[in-house]
Structure 1
């Protein structure tokens, strides 16, 4: 009886495999989940890509920890009104996000010019944001704040930089913040946007 049940050769192997599958459950589920992963992301999840040609004002900004950022007026409405009445407007210099000349990385720079301001020192920093298919701009790198003279140039600018995961073309923004020292100034964070052969996520 035992010999008839077990059989021999291929039949025996088939019975053993079938029995093992029944004991441990459906073994196809993990394989299906694994095959749904694309580039480390679950299929259908938000991934970096090319932003729409027309800037979408409804896009959400996320900081490095995934929290929603207020990119409208960084210093608040009161400061904006005060600056408009008594303050000055610096020129926030920035370049397009671009591939770094050293290594496979994306980078962007920030600097300033005096505009209508009188003081000749400002605290400047810039941050890089990568666009995702869920219409979010996600912060990937920020420079350290630096006290700079106006004018730009290699010695008077900040740099934000992040190594690329691969060279797939992706949309990036470089936002710059300028805070003139000992002078009230407008709080905008202007940006330049460009597509770069660099994907970070």
Structure 2
């Protein structure tokens, strides 16, 4: 017969196991929609970092009739000075789907929110009918393990794209 393994106590406030690194055993992760958990090396030293993802509301571009959005990042507890940012615009359809209309990526973005370090994305409008849009970004710190770093903002703007999805 096998001896039962100790079940770690879990704090409801943090969902973190209340056992030491040495006493922990493999098990089933708690069900969650969030990117929770800490990655460690063999000695228990924490790996990775948590960048802060910034996105603005989708909006009409000042330079024409287009949907526009921007993304940026802050270092959080990360040590590297560049990240790859993928930012995409999605338009809502009445079948309940968000359809991708444009994406932009930059693999050498410094932290900060100023205009020189934001990644812009835009898509020309076919009409000025009001439609719901989402601006969603994924930040991946270069050469460093990091959390998902995803941000999203939503707004209704006078821009409708009737052409093909991207």
- Candidates 158, 162, 166, aligned match of 1:197: 158
- Aligned-partner Cα distance in 1 for 2:51–2:129: 35
1:82 is the counterpart of 2:43? no
CA distance in structure 2 between the aligned counterparts of 1:98 and 1:146, rounded to whole angstroms: 24
Cα distance, 1:120 vs structure 2: 1.2
1:23 corresponds in structure 2 to none
Aligned pairs (5 A) from 1:1-201: 82=39, 86-201=47-162
TM-score between both structures, scaled by the size of structure 2: 0.69
User: Which structure has greater strand proportion?
Assistant: 2
TM-score by length of 1: 0.58
Unaligned runs of 5+ in 2: 1-32, 41-45
Q: Which runs of 4+ in 1 moved over 2 A?
A: 80-83
8 Å contact from structure 2 (residues 91, 131) kept in 1: yes
Question: Using the alignment, how far apart are the partners of 2:77 and 2:71 within structure 1?
Answer: 19
Q: Deviations over 1:12-64 (max 9, x none)?
A: xxxxxxxxxxxxxxxxxxxxxxxxxxxxxxxxxxxxxxxxxxxxxxxxxxxxx
Q: Measure, in 1, the Cα distance between the counterparts of 2:96 and 2:118.
A: 30
CA distance in 1 between counterparts of 2:38 and 2:97 reads 29
CA contact (8 A) 1:129 1:173 kept: yes
**Alpha-carbon offset, residue 146 of structure 1:** 3.4
CA distance in 1, matches of 2:123, 2:73: 22
TM-superposed CA distance for 1:144, in Å, is 2.8
Larger helix share, 1 or 2:
1
RMSD: 2.1
Which structure: larger Rg? 1
Contact 1:92 1:111 in 2 (8 A): yes
CA contact (8 A) 2:140 2:149 kept: no
Q: Is the 8 A contact 1:146 1:158 kept in 2?
A: no
Greater mean deviation of Cα atoms: 115-124 or 162-171: 115-124
Partner SS for 2:39: helix
Aligned length: 125
**C-alpha contact 2:51 2:149 (8 A) present in aligned 1:** no
Q: Does the CA contact (< 8 Å) of 2:87 and 2:121 recur in 1?
A: yes
